[in-house]
Structure 1
């Protein structure tokens, strides 16, 4: 009788270890500082970097999907996004830098394409709030997909603290891209589902016993 078990070293090598809190905080802070640096450059330069945002349903403005999250319509806009970006990006890194990068890429692209498809005509959409809503939605639902009690508890706490932010999903506030918020949240849910499904497929099969 022999037992087949995956080699511990090989199994460990497949995992992306979660970052230490200090490393996660450094990544979140670095991204936020990047946003401030871009806004400072926008203020100093004679040009208007915000024109590089998303121009809805314009082929020439489609590349704004890549740049819009790092652009902001003034310091007050950036200040409003700072705390959500810091908190949600830090918490979203709990499962590892690799998964965080994948989740962020999904939110970045899907929220941007959503704005490009149904955003207001003759306007330019910029800001990291789509990312913030995406990360928040990801954090709220990932525990349901993972069936993880700890993640569900985190979601309950976040919902209690940030429930007022969900009002941003509703249209009616002039100058606020509810489209970016809605598609960001939908992208966060999609990212939670996709990454959970990917993790289950990558999980090693249970050890089997062979008689012989």
Structure 2
């Protein structure tokens, strides 16, 4: 009689499900911990122009001000992340990291003197990337995705303006700017690569 050992397979980084669900689960886990009595992880967020707040660039996207804040971010993140993954999952990770770091650094440099947390900066980065990339890339696929993003989330444009005191419009604004920057760069790179193949 032969037996087979079952092994636990860890989803690869190239998995769309791992990329999207993994980030959502991490944010949810941290929010559960943050909801426990006597624990306030949000102190690890971005506090502009403070050396101690500089490390918040790495933590801020995964921390939220409460369950309402977290839940309001999950659906747009899942949708926009899935659309970016239609290119490649590797590209999604690159854009996620770039918008989190560059957008977060800009918030640290120019944001109001409050603690800034939340996934919305990255969400705006994905949004800015998808629209800019579609305009600049001009392929059928990129244009269709860009039009879908504009149709679904045209209201995001108001989020880059200061409206409510407790909302970090700076994260939205600088996230969108960082997304546009990388969208422009990657579109030019891809168009140049296409022309070199002709």
Work out the CA distance in 1 between the residues paired with 2:99 and 2:197.
33
TM-score, structure 2 normalization: 0.86
Higher relative contact order at CA 8 Å, sep ≥6: structure 1 or structure 2?
A: 1
45 and 148 in structure 1: CA distance in 2 versus 1, 3 angstrom threshold: farther
Contact 1:99 1:195 in 2 (8 A): no
- Number of the residue aligned with 1:4: none
Larger Rg: 1
Instruction: Indicate the residue corresponding to 2:143 in structure 1.
Output: 152
1:104, distance to aligned residue in structure 2 (A): 1.2
The one of 90, 97, 100 aligned to 1:108: 100
State the alpha-carbon separation in 2 of the partners of residues 120 and 198 from structure 1.
Answer: 35
Higher strand share: 1
Distance in structure 1 (CA, Å) of the matches to 2:93 and 2:195:
23
Partners in 1 of 2:136 and 2:195 — Cα distance? Answer: 19
Residue in 2 aligned with 1:90? 82
The 3-state SS of whatever aligns with 2:159 is helix
1:58 CA displacement: 0.5
User: Which of 162, 172, 175 is equivalent to 1:171?
Assistant: 162
Task: Give the gaps of 5 or more residues in structure 2.
Answer: 1-13
Figure out how many residues of one structure are paired with residues of the other and give that number.
Answer: 185
Structure 1 unpaired stretches of 5+: 1-18, 208-212
CA shift in 2, pair 1:58/1:97, >3 Å: same
1:17-96 correspondence runs (5 A): 23-44=15-36, 46-96=38-88
Q: Residue 153 of structure 2 aligns with which residue? A: 162
Distance 1:35 1:205, change over 3 A: same
